[in-house]
Amino acid sequence: MLHIDRRSLRFRLLTRLGGVALAVVLLAWYLHGYFLHQLAQDFLGERLKDEAIHVEALLKQGDRPAVELLTASREEYQVFHHFYVLGIAGQTSTSHPAMLKTLMPLLAGRDALFTLSDQRHPLLVYRHAFQVRGQPAQLLIAENFSPVQQGLERVHWWIGGTAILLWGVLVSLNLLAVRRGLRPLVTLGHQLKELQTGRRKRIALEAPSELDSLVTQLNHLLDEFDRRLTRSRESVANLSHALKTPLAALAQVLRGRRPIDAVRRTKMLARVESLHAQLAAELQRARIAGPRAGQATRPVEEAERLIEMFCGLYPERRFSLEVASSEVSQSSSGASSWVSIETQDFTEMLGIVLDNAGKWSRQQVRCRLAINATTLRLTVDDDGPGVPHEEHDRLGERGRRLDERYPGYGLGLSILAQLVTHYAGQLHYSSAPEGGLRVEMTLPVNQPTPIQA
């Protein structure tokens, strides 16, 4: 049994193309019949007009009175086998008395060609007005149009049959064209199955230009999945390596019979806290989505939310947010405040910088956000003791702490550097005008289409 998938693209294309082709064929068939009928009518009308002029010339010959002209004319125009009605000076004669009642109402008026349908057959009538010896005369010449019309209908139906045959040919050609046009999609489906079964790593398809973007995006997603898988494996390996030795040492201490004094307890607690920090750092890295994650964020709104949160965490500091004027004007319409950065990644980056500034500032932390069509620039200044210029390049080294007055493990700026690297951005440390540290972060962005609420 033939199965028809009404949701398939092939079925939709064939039905729409077939419908359009049928409409075109029917329209062409109708117009052919109309114009053929008009052509035949015009041709016969010209012939009736020439005949009327010929009859007029016959009536004007000789010096006989009007009544005799009518009698004489009847004898002349009988040879043309048409229906005649002639009116001169209120007197009427006709070649066919049975048609007089039908044609009489048409006798008055100017020259014209029209059709008339009586009970038996259609008539093509030409009316001619002229003067005969100073007297107005009207002549109607009618021809039975049914034989011509029947011939035209036969031709018209033959053309209709031919049109249906052509429509069938068009549908068959459309079927071949659609099958050939959809072949890249079939190949794409096979390659996706090979990707699923591991027999293929990337999509290699000689696709039409319309599918170039689809293939490119699919390959980008595959690359991104590979990077995430690699990063996850590296995180697990790093975590396993980092935890193995401390856990073994802790287990050895706990298994031993030596009493745990205050000094050893403090060391064990420090190791446990270090393990906790490493776990938290690896979990933070695991949450990195990276670019092309298919997510977007509103940086201004997220920055405002974080600023409010850090104001609560560090109530003795003043956090402020300054947004570039171009961003303010764009966001007022709500059309361009979205940028293609995953929200978790953006809040992670900004949160690390704000937390670091909140720890070391004396009174205030200033955050400045600027966005244009290609980049997002974030600048955070604090008025803390700052970092010597020669140490700026060492910031972000994993596990390195330049000042240990506050608790920490030196992992935040390292994670920040990794996040910025994932987004192909730039991270720069310098001295703030207030004397503290300035962190400048620049990320390339492609602002996506605004999400409709």
Per-residue tens of pLDDT for the chain, all 453 residues: 567 777 888 888 888 988 998 999 999 999 999 999 999 999 999 999 998 888 888 778 766 665 565 554 555 555 556 788 888 877 888 877 777 778 888 888 889 998 887 666 788 999 999 888 788 888 888 888 888 888 999 999 999 999 999 999 988 998 899 888 888 888 888 888 888 787 888 888 777 788 888 888 888 888 877 877 787 777 777 777 777 777 887 787 778 777 778 887 888 888 787 777 777 777 766 666 666 556 678 888 889 999 999 998 898 999 999 987 554 444 444 444 778 888 888 888 899 899 989 988 999 999 999 988 788 899 999 998 888 888 887 787 765 555 555 555 567 788 888 888 888 899 999 999 888 899 999 998 865 544 443
Q: Cβ of 331: how many Cβ atoms within 10 Å?
A: 18
Q: Tokens representing 394? A: 């060492």
Burial 271-310 (b: 16+ CB within 10 A, else e): beeebebbeebbebbeebbbbbbebbbbbbebbeebbeeb
Q: Cβ of 65: how many Cβ atoms within 10 Å?
A: 11
CB 109 within 8 A of CB 123: no
Nearest CA to 83 out of 44, 140, 128, 41 is that of 140
Nearest CA to 141 out of 127, 130, 129, 131 is that of 127
CA-CA distance, 84 to 94, in Å (whole number)? Answer: 5
Collapsed DSSP state (helix, strand, coil) of residue 123: strand
Cα Rg of the chain (Å, integer):
48
CA-CA distance, 14 to 171, in Å (whole number)? Answer: 8
Containing H/E element for 431? strand 426-431
CB 429 within 8 A of CB 437: yes
Q: Which are the contacts of 103, defined by CB distance < 8 A and separation ≥ 6?
A: 83, 85, 94, 116, 125, 140, 142
Nearest CA to 299 out of 189, 423, 445 is that of 445
Q: What backbone phi and psi angles, to 5 degrees, belong to 375?
A: -135, 155
Q: Tokens representing 414? A: 């390292």
CA-CA distance, 227 to 214, in Å (whole number)? Answer: 20
